[in-house]
Amino acid sequence: MNKQKLLLCKIASCISAKKFKKLQELLSECKNNSIPSQLIYETILQSYLFNGFPAAINALTIFKKVYGNESLLKGENFSVQKFEKRGKTNLRFVYGNKTEKLVSLMQSLSEEFLQWMIIEGYGKVKGRKWLTLKDRELLNVAMLSTNYYEDQLKAHIRGALFTNNTVQEITESINSTTEYNLKTNIKKAIRLINEQIV
């Protein structure tokens, strides 16, 4: 994994761990290493899917402090139809042959939440052009390793594999969380990789 991807995974983990003082240091390191501000912004936006608005707002505040005017980035026009179409495509790409099972499960829990997941999660947020779905799945793995939601982590390890990440890249994504994560979470997350490739 290159330095840029490693730093983005660290940002995702740091936000998940709510280590906001460390986040400022990490963003300064990114700036010193010429990591494009748009990629950091995308990582922060995506973090709200797994960590909520409060964590994302705190992270955006720190991002603005470190990057100043570079933090004023333009997004894309809002279109529910576009997000829904893109979301369905991305969902199938990430979940592969498990898509129907997931859709069925989510329908049994909440039709409304299924729509939100497709439109908001996979369409509006993860479908943005500035990071590939492949890279976004590594961020998901870093966040879910830190928060340790086992079922979702399993799903996104599979998603990382389905989006053509290697086992080594997924392992590096998990190991990137070391500063912000519990050792037991890392150990359990690494074990889950092996379960998914058997």
Residue 184 pLDDT greater than 60, yes or no: yes
Whether 74 is in a domain gets the answer no
Per residue in 70-113, pLDDT (tens digit) is 777 777 888 999 999 999 999 999 999 999 999 999 999 999 99
Q: Quick check: helix, strand or coil at residue 113?
A: helix
Query: Average pLDDT for residues 14-34, to the nearest whole number?
Result: 97
Residue 198 pLDDT greater than 70, yes or no: no
**Domain containing 100: what range?**
80-130
The answer for residues whose C-beta is within 8 angstroms of residue 168's C-beta and 6 or more apart is 1
Whether 94 is in a domain gets the answer yes
Confidence (pTM): 0.94
Are 182 and 85 a contacting pair, CB within 8 Å?
Answer: no
Per residue in 148-165, pLDDT (tens digit) is 999 999 999 999 999 999
Whether 124 is in a domain gets the answer yes
Mind giving me the DSSP string for 46-98? HHHHHHHHHHHHHHHHHHHHHHGGGG--------HHHHHHHHHHHHHHHHGGG
Whether 88 is in a domain gets the answer yes
Whether 53 is in a domain gets the answer no
Are 116 and 145 a contacting pair, CB within 8 Å?
Answer: no
Query: Average pLDDT for residues 107-122, to the nearest whole number?
Result: 97
Q: Which helix (H) or strand (E) holds 135?
A: helix 133-147
pLDDT at 70: 75
The rounded mean pLDDT for the chain is 95
Percentage with pLDDT > 90 across the chain: 92
How would residue 177 be classed by pLDDT, with cut points 50, 70 and 90? very high
Are 146 and 181 a contacting pair, CB within 8 Å?
Answer: yes
pLDDT at 182: 97
CB atoms within 10 A of CB 175: 17
How many angstroms separate the Cα of 129 from the Cα of each of 11, 35, 64?
A: 19, 17, 21
Whether 48 is in a domain gets the answer no
Whether 151 is in a domain gets the answer no
Question: 195 or 92: which carries more pLDDT confidence?
Answer: 92
Are 162 and 95 a contacting pair, CB within 8 Å?
Answer: yes
Whether 60 is in a domain gets the answer no
Query: Average pLDDT for residues 29-57, to the nearest whole number?
Result: 96
- From the number of C-beta atoms within 10 Å of its C-beta (0-12, 13-18, 19+), residue 34 rates as exposed
Q: How many domains does the chain have?
A: 1
Report the C-alpha gap between 169 and 146 in whole angstroms.
16
